[in-house]
Amino acid sequence: MPEALLYLLLVAAYLGLSAYFRPGGAACCQPNGWNRLLLFVPLALHLYLLDELVLPGSGLSLGFGTSLSAVAALTVLFYGLAAWHYPLAGMQSFVLLFGALGVLLQAMMPEGLAIPTAGQPMFRLHMLAAFAAYGLFAVAALHAVLISLAEKHLHKPVLPNMVTGLPPLLTLEKLLFRMVELGFLILTLTLLSGIFFSESIYGRPFPLTHMTVFGIASWVIYAALLFGRRIYGWRGKTAIYWTQAGFLTLLLSYVGVKFVLEVLLGRP
């Protein structure tokens, strides 16, 4: 099957499922097993197309489109796994839309320059951890939006379908911090391992690049959030704002830099 047709099929699958799970629709918030399994059907093709494009031979090729596509795929993956155990049913339509956007950009944007040294298995694990942190924090950011909606409609007599049947806010916030804690651990490991690989790529162990600055800034934001939660009991809007700020900063650390270089400045 031609590659262009695979991309069209994948985008159509994501968009079709997003419409099926749309907020207010009959299937929006049903947590049964078949609905959960549907998410993994387009995801399998998405991961296949990423593997073919991102890992050619022994190198690694990550442009803006493929980077965002990798983040989107891992966001769908983490959401799909989490939805089996936690009350996240109202978010699937938006997660699937993000997946469709990632695939479109992957198909339309240039591949980016290959990194020859990236054939090392440890470097691939480093990159996988980095994008895993992206995906997990993306799910946490969407979950924070769901908490915000639940708070907004808390005292209204008629609740929208997205928040009907959700557990108490304290339970939702506990889940949010579980995701942030796990993402923070993965991000910490990513930054530490990045020091080792930076020396082989840039010639010095800790180069002060945009990626480094934004990556550390995101780590500091999430560290402050977890510290504030433990010491001062931060919750509600404070937790939501810090979660969103950390994710946006993390997004700028690699995907944002690639967007500026490739899309705005036209440089690989």
Confidence at residue 70, expressed as pLDDT on a 0 to 100 scale:
85
How many helices (H) and strands (E) in the chain? 10, 0
Please, which residues bridge with residue 114 across strands? 61
Asked if residue 19 has pLDDT above 70, the reply is yes
**155 CB contacts (<8 Å, ≥6 apart)?**
none
pLDDT tens figures, 30-85: 656 677 788 899 999 998 888 766 655 555 666 777 878 888 898 899 888 887 77
Q: Mean pLDDT for the chain?
A: 78
Residues 28 and 89: beta-carbon distance below 8 Å: yes
Q: What are phi and psi of 114, to 5 degrees?
A: -80, 145
Residue 174: predicted pLDDT? 87
- CA nearest to 101, candidates 67, 127, 136: 67
Q: How confident is the model at residue 264 (pLDDT cuts 50, 70, 90)?
A: very low
Long-range pairs of 261-267 with CB within 8 A, sequence gap ≥ 24: 261/64, 262/63, 262/64, 262/109, 262/110, 262/112, 263/64, 263/109
Higher model confidence: residue 125 or residue 200? 125
Check residues 30 and 230 and name the one with the higher pLDDT.
230
Model pTM score? 0.81
Spatial contact of 240 and 193, defined as CB atoms under 8 Å apart: no
Cα distances from 29 to residues 20, 148, 150, in angstroms, run 11, 17, 14
Q: What is the pLDDT of residue 111?
A: 61
Once rounded to an integer, what is the mean pLDDT over residues 243-261?
75
Which pLDDT score, from 0 to 100, does residue 89 have?
A: 66
